[in-house]
Amino acid sequence: MTMNAVSFIYQYVVGGIIFVVMMLLVLRSGELSTKTSEGRRYLVLLIGGFLLYLGLHGLSVLVFPFL
Amino acid sequence: MLAQAYGQPIDHAVLVIYLVIMVGFGATFARYTRSTRDFFFSGQRFSWWLISVSFVATLVGSYSFMKYAEAGYRYGLSSTMSYTNDWFSMPLFLFGWLPIIYFMRIASVPEYFERRFGRDARVAGTVLILLYMIGYIGFNFYTLGKALEPLFPIEALQSVEHLNLMAIVVVIAVICAIYVAAGGQTSVIMTDLLQGFILLIAGFVLFGLGLSYLGGFGEFWIHLPFEHAFGMAEFNRPEKFSAVGVFWQDGVANSIAFYFMNQGVLMRFLSAKSPREGRKAAIIIVLVLMPLTAIAVSNAGWVGSAIRGKSPEALPGLDDPAKINQVFVMVAELLCRPGVFGLVLAALVAALMSTVDTLINAVATVLVNDIYRPFIRTGKDDRHYLRAARVFSIGATLVGVLLVPMFLGFDSMYAAHAAFTAAITPPMITVILLAVAWKRFNRVSALATLVLGTGAMVLSFAVPEIITPFAHGVPMDEAAAFYKKYKYMRACYGMVTCMGIGVLATFLTWRLRAAAETVDGLTIWTLAAGRRRFKGGEPKRTTGEKIRLKLTASDDVTDPVVLIHPTDLARLSAGPGDLMYLADRRWWLGGLRSLHIKAGESTDALEPGTAVLCPAKIDEGRLRVGEDVVVEMII
CATH number at residue B587: 2.40.40.20
Query: Is residue B226 predicted with pLDDT exceeding 90?
Result: yes
The pLDDT score that the predictor gives to residue B128 is 81
CB atoms inside a 10 Å sphere around CB B536: 10
The angle formed by the CA atoms of residues B603, B606 and B611, to the nearest 5 degrees, is: 110
Query: Is residue B549 predicted with pLDDT exceeding 90?
Result: yes
User: Which range has the worst mean pLDDT, B26-30, B207-211, B222-226, B466-470?
Assistant: B26-30
Q: Which of A45-59, B249-263, B341-355, B574-588 has the highest mean pLDDT?
A: A45-59
Query: Is residue B449 predicted with pLDDT exceeding 90?
Result: yes
How far apart CA B547 and CA A48 sit, in angstroms, is: 31
Q: Is residue A32 part of a domain?
A: yes
Instruction: Specify whether B592 is located in the same domain as B614.
Output: yes
Q: Region A28-34: what's the mean pLDDT?
A: 93
Q: Is residue A67 part of a domain?
A: no
Q: Calculate the CA A4 to chain-centre distance.
A: 18
Instruction: Specify whether B239 is located in the same domain as B210.
Output: yes
The pLDDT score that the predictor gives to residue B351 is 76
Q: Is residue B39 part of a domain?
A: no
For B293, residues 6+ apart whose C-beta sits below 8 A from its C-beta are B56, B59, B60, B83, B199, B200, B203
> Does B247 contact A60 at a Cβ distance shorter than 8 Å?
no
Instruction: Specify whether B563 is located in the same domain as B525.
Output: no
What distance in Å separates residue A36's CA from the closest CA in chain B?
8
How far apart CA B124 and CA B110 sit, in angstroms, is: 8
Query: Is residue B354 predicted with pLDDT exceeding 80?
Result: no
Instruction: Specify whether B551 is located in the same domain as B473.
Output: no
How far apart CA B430 and CA B502 sit, in angstroms, is: 8
How far apart CA A3 and CA B271 sit, in angstroms, is: 43
Percentage with pLDDT > 90 across chain B? 43
Instruction: Specify whether B400 is located in the same domain as B343.
Output: yes
Q: Does A9 touch chain B (CB under 8 A)?
A: no
Q: Is residue B95 part of a domain?
A: yes
Ranges of H-type helices in chain A: 3-28, 37-62
Would you say the pTM of this structure is higher than 0.90?
no
Last residue of a domain, one of B513, B536, B559: B536
The pLDDT score that the predictor gives to residue B391 is 92
Query: Is residue B566 predicted with pLDDT exceeding 90?
Result: yes
Ranges of H-type helices in B215-289: 217-223, 243-246, 255-256, 263-270, 275-284
The pLDDT tens digits of the residues spanning B388-404 come to 988 999 999 999 999 88
Q: Region B512-525: what's the mean pLDDT?
A: 83
The pLDDT score that the predictor gives to residue B2 is 42
Instruction: Specify whether B260 is located in the same domain as B358.
Output: yes
Which of A13, A25, A52 should one mutate to test binding to chain B, selecting the residue with the greatest count of B CBs within 10 A?
A25
Q: Domain of residue B449: give its range.
A: 426-536
Instruction: Specify whether B494 is located in the same domain as B564.
Output: no
With beta carbons less than 8 A apart as the criterion, state whether B51 and B276 touch. Answer: no
Q: Region B585-605: what's the mean pLDDT?
A: 89
Q: Domain of residue A38: give its range.
A: 3-62
Q: Is residue B1 part of a domain?
A: no
Q: Which of A45-49, B140-144, B197-201, B580-584 has the highest mean pLDDT?
A: A45-49
Mean pLDDT of chain B: 87
Report the chain B residue with the minimal C-alpha distance to residue A19: B88
DSSP string, B90-134: HHHIIIIIHHHHHHTT--SHHHHHHHHH-HHHHHHHHHHHHHHHH
The pLDDT score that the predictor gives to residue B420 is 67
> Does A49 contact B229 at a Cβ distance shorter than 8 Å?
no
The pLDDT tens digits of the residues spanning B104-157 come to 988 889 999 999 998 888 888 888 888 878 888 888 888 778 777 877 777 777
Give me the torsion for CA of B550, B554, B557, B560, rounded to 10°.
60
The number of domains in chain B is 3
What distance in Å separates residue A44's CA from the closest CA in chain B?
12
User: Which range has the worst mean pLDDT, B108-122, B157-171, B249-263, B322-336?
Assistant: B157-171
Instruction: Specify whether B247 is located in the same domain as B175.
Output: yes
**How many residues can be counted in chain B?**
635
Report the chain A residue with the minimal C-alpha distance to residue B233: A4
Q: Region B199-224: what's the mean pLDDT?
A: 94
Q: Region B7-25: what's the mean pLDDT?
A: 82
Instruction: Specify whether B55 is located in the same domain as B178.
Output: yes
Query: Is residue B208 predicted with pLDDT exceeding 70?
Result: yes
With beta carbons less than 8 A apart as the criterion, state whether B201 and B53 touch. Answer: no
Nearest to A22 among B91, B229, B291 (CB): B91
With beta carbons less than 8 A apart as the criterion, state whether B192 and B51 touch. Answer: no
Query: Is residue B3 predicted with pLDDT exceeding 70?
Result: no
Instruction: Specify whether B350 is located in the same domain as B453.
Output: no
Q: Is residue A42 part of a domain?
A: yes
b/e burial code for range B26-55 (CB count within 10 A of at least 16 → b): bbbbbebbeebbbbbbbbbbbbbbbbbbbb
Beta bridge mates, B175: none
Q: Does B304 touch chain A (CB under 8 A)?
A: no
Q: Calculate the CA B609 to chain-centre distance.
A: 40
Query: Is residue B251 predicted with pLDDT exceeding 60?
Result: yes
The number of domains in chain A is 1
Q: Does A60 touch chain B (CB under 8 A)?
A: yes
How far apart CA B327 and CA B16 sit, in angstroms, is: 23
How far apart CA B347 and CA B293 sit, in angstroms, is: 12
Residues of B in contact with A45 (CB under 8 A): 283
Mean pLDDT of chain A: 94
Nearest to B91 among A7, A23, A67 (CB): A23
Under the banding of pLDDT at 50, 70 and 90, the label for residue B221 is: very high
User: Which range has the worst mean pLDDT, B274-283, B298-307, B406-415, B449-458?
Assistant: B406-415
Last residue of a domain, one of B409, B437, B462: B409
> Does A49 contact B543 at a Cβ distance shorter than 8 Å?
no
Report the chain A residue with the minimal C-alpha distance to residue B244: A7
The pLDDT score that the predictor gives to residue B411 is 56
For B104, residues 6+ apart whose C-beta sits below 8 A from its C-beta are B112, B115, B521, B522, B530, B533, B534
How far apart CA B348 and CA B328 sit, in angstroms, is: 10
Residues of A in contact with B527 (CB under 8 A): 29, 31
- Tell which A residues from 24 to 43 touch B, by Cβ distance under 8 Å: 25-26, 29, 31-33, 36, 38, 42
- Tell which B residues from 28 to 67 touch A, by Cβ distance under 8 Å: none
Query: Is residue B410 predicted with pLDDT exceeding 80?
Result: no
Instruction: Specify whether B73 is located in the same domain as B53.
Output: yes
Nearest by Cα to B18 from B291, B157, B265, B201: B201
Instruction: Specify whether B238 is located in the same domain as B123.
Output: yes
Q: Region B612-630: what's the mean pLDDT?
A: 91
Last residue of a domain, one of B367, B383, B409: B409
- Tell which B residues from 418 to 437 touch A, by Cβ distance under 8 Å: 437
> Does B90 contact A52 at a Cβ distance shorter than 8 Å?
no
Q: Is residue B3 part of a domain?
A: no
Q: Is residue B419 part of a domain?
A: no
> Does A10 contact B244 at a Cβ distance shorter than 8 Å?
yes
The pLDDT score that the predictor gives to residue B614 is 92
Q: Is residue B4 part of a domain?
A: no
Under the banding of pLDDT at 50, 70 and 90, the label for residue B1 is: very low
